[in-house]
Structure 1
Amino acid sequence: MAESIDGISEACLALETPVISGNVSMYNTSKGGAILPMPIIGMVGLVENTKYVTPSHFQIVETLFTQLVKYSLSLVAVNCKM
């Protein structure tokens, strides 16, 4: 754990990126047993060029779902006009 936090600190210093919030999960469990402690970082910032933004899996799924709903509604509209 200490090495993880030291690494995060080193990266933030090298990138000149402040971390103003964080959390360390120390006592989590699941059905399979204990979950090892892990540092979690939440950050907010501005991206000057969206070309460098990697979309999340959830954005991709939402886009596909939205397209499917729009397509389904267009089929309903066509069938209602018949």
Structure 2
Amino acid sequence: MLGENLYPLVEQLDPDAAAKVTGMLLEMDQTEVLHLLESPEALKAKVAEAMEVLRTVARQQAGGAADHLASLSLKGNLVS
């Protein structure tokens, strides 16, 4: 029920990541989520915080994938 009320508000702030951000916010304490529903400024700040977390994770995953690719060697794996 909280998610049904929260999602449209998050979607107005960030339509592309609304589902993911709503899920993140729903992991918070229920009283905090209720506060977000009542305070547009608090919601905006929390959505911005969640988006920063998502960007940080995406950068780390991209960096990890690049490091993994850089460590691969084709020597010995070539078929003659």
- Specify which structure has the bigger relative contact order, considering alpha-carbon pairs within 8 angstroms and separated by 6 or more residues: 2
TM above 0.5, one fold?
no
Query: What TM-score do the two structures reach when normalised by structure 1?
Result: 0.39
More helix by share: 2
More strand by share: 1
